[in-house]
Amino acid sequence: MRAFQIQAFDRPAGFFDTELPPPAAGEVRIRVAACGLNFADLLMARGQYQERPPLPVTLGMEMAGTVAAVGPGTSGPEPGSRVAAFNGMGGLAEEANVAAERCVILPHGMSFSEGAAFQVAYGTSHLALDHRARLQPGERLVVTGAAGGVGLAAVEIGALMGAEVVAIARGGDKLDIAARAGATHLIDAECPDIRERIRALGGADVVYETIGGDLFDTCFRATNPEGRILTIGFASGRLPQIAPNHLLVKNLSVIGLYWGGYLKFAPGVLTASLQTLFAWYAAGRLRPHISHEVPFERTAEALDLLRLRRSAGKVVVTMP
């Protein structure tokens, strides 16, 4: 089968013919129909992701498709079932073997592209806002990178949870998308006075921070006493430096969130979150925004859309 792989960190990813063994006990084989891309795919391709699997590695953290086969003694989705799965890798291929327990049956009416776009973005945002930050109705939530995959999901979920959402994104088009997702206030990331704009609204109670660098520093200074700052990512490339004495002065909490890590130490928390999210989707309360659906043979172009920040919401690679 064809797979889009990293075979060496000093060479670009590309297509290779590879063998996929039969699914082992506890696994199912998925005939991949769509793969959702994430910023983490770019980091993994450079060997900079927090998990560094041995090479060669097939990129693509989340996928959706049809169960083609079931491993021996495996109870799980039957062949023919429409599923989504987060596997951390392997989605950018014609087929993938995935642990049966990681598969979620797609709700009625959810397309493969939506299924592939759903788990990482919505799972990260819901677990961060609900489980980690304990976001409350009426609190002011500031979201940076608010038109990106996880950022836009945070806007939508924050509004659904009753927060007053402040979206920070670059340019009017992306801010319009954030407004349609439920943002109450819009701030262009190029504004020189972001801190003052946030403070004029009453300050931030919770910050969902995806950019790092100067924007993290700005939002940190605009956070209210007892505020919570969620560190989701560092798209700017600069890790923020936090002065502990500033945390003390305003009784701030800086909270880390690595969604995939819950699979190892608390999978029940992740599973319960996804059950909530898929129920919200089935009830019509969530709708993934997919800005680009790109054919498999143009996977490199699809990754460039993320790298160059030319997308909004999710980029999905579709299989022929």
Please state the rounded mean pLDDT for residues 38-52.
85
Please state the rounded mean pLDDT for residues 209-224.
96
Q: What is the pLDDT of residue 256?
A: 96
* pLDDT above 70: percentage of residues in the chain: 100
Whether 86 contacts 119, CB under 8 Å: yes
Q: What is the pLDDT of residue 64?
A: 98
- Which range (24-28, 31-35, 226-230, 235-239) has the least confidence? 235-239
Does 4 have pLDDT greater than 90? yes
Q: What is the pLDDT of residue 140?
A: 98
Q: What is the pLDDT of residue 56?
A: 92
Q: Which residue has the higher pLDDT, 196 or 101?
A: 196
Q: What is the pLDDT of residue 263?
A: 85
pTM over 0.85? The answer is yes
Q: Residue 47: which pLDDT band, with cuts at 50, 70 and 90?
A: confident
What's the CATH number for 137-257? 3.40.50.720
Does 184 have pLDDT greater than 90? yes
Burial class, 78, CB count within 10 angstroms (exposed 0-12 / middle 13-18 / buried 19+): exposed
Does 50 have pLDDT greater than 80? no
Q: Residue 34: which pLDDT band, with cuts at 50, 70 and 90?
A: very high
Strands 103-105 and 82-86: antiparallel
Whether 291 contacts 302, CB under 8 Å: no
Superfamily of domain 2-119+262-318: Medium-chain alcohol dehydrogenases, catalytic domain (3.90.180.10)
What residue ranges of the chain are covered by domains with CATH 3.40.50.720? 137-257
Q: What is the pLDDT of residue 151?
A: 97
**Tell me: the pLDDT tens digits for 122-181?**
999 999 999 999 999 999 999 999 999 999 999 999 999 999 999 999 999 999 999 999
CA dist., res. 143 & res. 154, Å (int): 7
Q: Residue 207: which pLDDT band, with cuts at 50, 70 and 90?
A: very high
Q: What angle do CA 237, 129, 312 make, to 5 degrees?
A: 50
Average pLDDT score over the chain: 95
HEC sequence for 105-116: ECCCCCCHHHHH
Does 51 have pLDDT greater than 80? no
What residue ranges of the chain are covered by domains with CATH 3.90.180.10? 2-119+262-318
Q: Residue 290: which pLDDT band, with cuts at 50, 70 and 90?
A: very high
Q: Residue 243: which pLDDT band, with cuts at 50, 70 and 90?
A: confident
**Tell me: the pLDDT tens digits for 74-114?**
988 999 999 999 998 999 999 999 999 999 999 989 999 99
Long-range interactions of 74-79: CB distance < 8 A, separation 24+: 74/23, 74/25, 74/26, 74/27, 74/28, 74/100, 75/100, 76/28, 76/100, 76/101, 76/103, 77/28, 77/103, 77/105
